[in-house]
Amino acid sequence: MKQLKRHLFFCGSEHCNGQQVEEVMDAFKEQFVEHGLYKHIKLNKTSCLGLCGNGPFALVYPEGIWYYNLTAKDVPRIVEEHFIDGEPVEEFVMLKLENK
């Protein structure tokens, strides 16, 4: 059975700069392949996530962290610091779900 460690959601609606979402998703995919993480992480583009206009977003589960206003050049840092070292990149975090 495939073991997923994380699931990322990207708003693909037009208020979140829909075209840039593809670039950001592609940058994540490239980084996951480069670091050997791809088979453990799923990525999906969604419709509106309810925080319109601050995209591109990457909503990361299981942490429940919303990265916002992303560009493709932000992605390597997020992958290295968050996905490899375990420390979310606070300057790109818009909100976090409470996990109690």
Residue 10 φ then ψ, to 5°: -125, 125
Judged by CB under 6 A, the residue of 9, 29, 42, 51 near ligand FES is 51
Site string for ligand FES, 55-84 (x = CB under 6 A): x-----------------------------
In sequence order, the 6+-apart residues with CB closer than 8 A to the CB of 27 are 72, 73, 75, 76
Mark the segment that binds ligand FES (CB under 6 A) among 27-35, 48-56, 64-72, 82-90: 48-56
Cis peptide before 76 (omega within 30 of 0): no
User: Quick one: tokens of 60?
Assistant: 């990361």
Q: Which is nearer to ligand FES, 56 or 83 (CB)?
A: 56
Judged by CB under 6 A, the residue of 15, 39, 40, 73 near ligand FES is 15
* Cα–Cα distance, 93 to 65 (Å, whole number): 7
Site residues, ligand FES (CB under 6 A):
11, 13, 15-16, 48-52, 55
